[in-house]
């Protein structure tokens, strides 16, 4: 499986994502610039954390107009797995690939620590290697991770099982303790915690590796079926 790590001006977790895929997962991966005009050769798309375009205006608000985002949307519509982490999640929200918006943390402070997440849905292409209701340890590092959406959207997310991860202690004030959601089709995941920083026990947790293993397993199974 071949992954693309999208690099925006201000991305700073692209190296972590690259390492997770190449060295821990053992899959092919390349950096792809924000001005790229095609993602056709890639099987999975990864939007890393950081401060794209300096987070001016709103987090992710400028990055969503980058040339490559047209290709990310096309990849999502084609059913390819698209993962946005932290700033990547914010960009997916701004681009309309996921519902809702991000606000500043309830404490108005930047938070950087390991948190516990509950796996709410292990029947997605991103979570099939987890057990339902698993509690995993993944680090967060954000100032604007307070996920918000209206009541109607929350009910729709719950009805469609789109809430994939929730916080056990809700460090940022997110509505319904949400830490990660998918689109209705289930091939686009946005999450504030950083699974790429939890892929080896030397980092304090290897829980995040199962997310990437899930992507590869489901991609391979689907291609064997379609072969």
* Residues carrying an active site annotation: 86, 194, 196
Whole-number Å distance between alpha carbons of 221 and 227: 10
82-85 β-sheet, strand order: 28-33, 2-7, 44-47, 82-85, 188-191, 178-182, 163-167, 111-119, 135-142
**DSSP-derived pairing of the beta strands 2-7 and 28-33:** parallel
C-alpha torsion 178→106→117→182, nearest 10: 30
Tokens linked to 46: 């990864």
Tell me the sheet residues that pair with 163.
Answer: 181
Q: Give phi and psi for 45, each to the nearest 5.
A: -120, 130
Q: Which residues contact 160 (CB under 8 A, 6 or more apart)?
A: 184
Q: How far apart (Å, rounded) are the C-alpha atoms in residues 135 and 5?
A: 27
- Determine the Cα angle at 167 with ends 192 and 23, to 5°: 50
CA dihedral 77, 82, 87, 89 (to 10 degrees): 70
């Amino acid at each position: 499986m071949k992954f693309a790590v999208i690099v925006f001006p201000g991305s700073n977790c692209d190296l972590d994502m690259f390492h997770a895929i190449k060295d821990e997962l053992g899959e092919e991966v390349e950096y792809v610039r924000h001005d790229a005009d095609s993602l056709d050769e890639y099987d999975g798309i990864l939007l890393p954390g950081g401060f794209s375009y300096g987070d001016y205006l709103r987090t992710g608000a400028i990055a969503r107009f980058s040339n490559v985002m047209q290709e990310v949307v096309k990849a999502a519509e084609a059913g390819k797995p698209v993962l946005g982490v932290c700033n990547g999640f914010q960009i997916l929200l701004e681009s309309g690939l996921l519902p809702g918006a991000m606000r500043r943390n309830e404490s108005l402070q930047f938070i950087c620590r390991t948190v516990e997440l509950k796996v709410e849905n292990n029947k997605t292409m991103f979570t099939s290697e987890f057990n339902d209701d698993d509690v995993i340890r993944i680090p967060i590092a954000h100032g604007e991770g307070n996920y918000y959406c209206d009541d109607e959207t929350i009910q729709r997310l719950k009805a469609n099982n789109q809430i994939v991860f929730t916080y056990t202690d809700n460090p940022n004030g997110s509505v319904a303790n949400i830490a990660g959601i998918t689109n209705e089709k289930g091939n686009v995941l946005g999450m504030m915690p950083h699974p790429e920083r939890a892929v080896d026990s030397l980092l304090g947790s290897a829980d995040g590796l199962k997310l990437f293993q899930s992507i590869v397993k489901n991609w391979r199974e689907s291609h064997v079926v379609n072969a």
